[in-house]
Every structure is written in structure tokens, then in C-alpha cells.
Amino acid sequence: KQEVTQIPAALSVPEGENLVLNCSFTDSAIYNLQWFRQDPGKGLTSLLLIQSSQREQTSGRLNASLDKSSGRSTLYIAASQPGDSATYLCAPTRAGGGADGLTFGKGTHLIIQP
Amino acid sequence: DTEVTQTPKHLVMGMTNKKSLKCEQHMGHRAMYWYKQKAKKPPELMFVYSYEKLSINESVPSRFSPECPNSSLLNLHLHALQPEDSALYLCASSRSAGEQYFGPGTRLTVT
């Protein structure tokens, strides 16, 4: 059974800082890994999807890396802004070729202070 | 269009009521999912429909009943719920094992 751990559980920093959020997973037989953000009481917004054959993926100020062999992914946020405040979740998808539910980490609750 | 819609946004129901949650997508995805999310917890998978075939999380009680009328629609029928079933219910869709797109959720309160 896949287990996903996210570190840190919470982070509060002043705006402008560069941040690294960590995600580790126990089963390296994954198809891809997604990073999401969730605002309070809202649904999940997909930020980045990394295929198992990729090493990293970038979108604007966000960069996600994947090291499948060590079971780790990191989300790098450059020049953080108050609007980045949210909970960030990572979720690997099990390899197998078919649709499968996601197993989420408990998330990193991020607060960017103005 | 990467939108998944869910109705209603909010629902309050008594323990003897029967209600349904609705989810819709028009991205041509053939996999759709229901997740349950309690406060300050990550989402937990309840059901998967892939090419209209159902996979169930065996820990989900039978008072939750999914239905997939066609490849664009997914319903969740609720009956005789308990107060501990109060949660945010999230629907998602994907193209097989690809990127999952989530709807805004239905906030359910059972009184």
C-alpha cells in the first residue's frame, strides 16, 4: 500500500522567499505524480503533473522534480507571494496502466506573510 | 475546457433523508472518481468508474451508492447517513491513468 509523507506539515514565511516543499512515497512503481493546491473549503487545483519518465516539470514560478528510485518529489516555489497561501498536496499514481485513485499526503499548509 | 462541475455546492440533510450529489465533465474522460475529505485531512478515495466499470473502496459503507449513467455523468446517492459522514465530497475525472481534474466539491452536513 502506497504511503505518502509531506514535509513540512506547515510553513509560514515572508513574501519573496524561495520555498521547497517535500514529498516522499514508499512504492516507487508509480505512473506519474501530481502536485495540487487547495484553498480552504475549495476543490483541488492541479499545479503540475510529472510523468515517471520525467525528472522535472515547470510552470511559471513553480518547479517540481521527481526522483522515482528514491521515492521523492519536491515542489519549488520561487519568489513567493501572499496569493500562494494554501495547502499543497502531492499524490503519486500507481503504475498499472488503468485509472486508479490517488493516494494523498497530508499536505503542507503554507502561509506567505505580506 | 478542463472543468468538472458539481451540484449542489452545499447540502444539509437529515439522517432519514435520501439525496444525490451530481458530477459532470465534458472533457471526454473515461474515468471518474468520488473522494471524501474531512476537515484538515487529505481526500480519501471512495469509488472509481473507469469505462463505466466500478471499483469500490471496501471501507466505504453501503449507505453511499455511486451511479454512472454515461461517461460524462457521475452521481452519488446518499441514504440513511450519519453525522460523521459530514464532509466535503469531491469528484474528479481523468483520461485513464492521466492527470486528474477536480471539481469544487459539495459541502455535506448531516444533522
CA distance A93 to A101: 7
3-state class of A25 per DSSP?
Answer: strand
Under the banding of pLDDT at 50, 70 and 90, the label for residue A1 is confident
Cα torsion A9, A12, A16, A17 to 10°: value is -50
The reported pLDDT for the residue numbered B34 is: 96
Contact criterion met (CB < 8 Å) for A31 and B97: yes
CA distance B95 to A27: 23
Residue (of A54, A51, A61, A62) closest to A95 by Cα position: A51
Of B33, B42, B103, the CB nearest to A89: B42
Cβ neighbours of A30 in B, within 8 Å? none
CA distance B41 to B34: 16
Of B42, B96, B104, the CB nearest to A43: B104
Parallel, antiparallel or unpaired: strands B87-94 and B31-37: antiparallel
CB B100 within 8 A of CB A53: no
The answer, yes or no, to whether residue A98 has pLDDT greater than 80, is: no
Structure confidence by residue, pLDDT tens digits, B10-55: 999 999 899 999 999 999 998 999 999 999 999 999 999 988 788 8
Residue B56 vs residue B12, higher pLDDT: B12
Of A43, A49, A101, the CB nearest to B99: A49
Give the DSSP per-residue string, B47-64: EEEETTEEEE-TTS-TTE
Q: Which residue of B has its CA nearest to A9?
A: B40
Mean pLDDT of B73-91: 96
Amino acid in position A79: A
Looking at every residue in chain A, the average pLDDT score rounds to: 93
Contact criterion met (CB < 8 Å) for A104 and B57: no
CA distance A88 to A77: 11
3-state class of A84 per DSSP?
Answer: helix
Parallel, antiparallel or unpaired: strands A19-25 and A4-7: antiparallel
CA distance B111 to B106: 16
Looking at every residue in chain B, the average pLDDT score rounds to: 92
- B1-to-A82, B4, B9, B25, B99 alpha-carbon distances in Å: 27, 9, 20, 9, 14
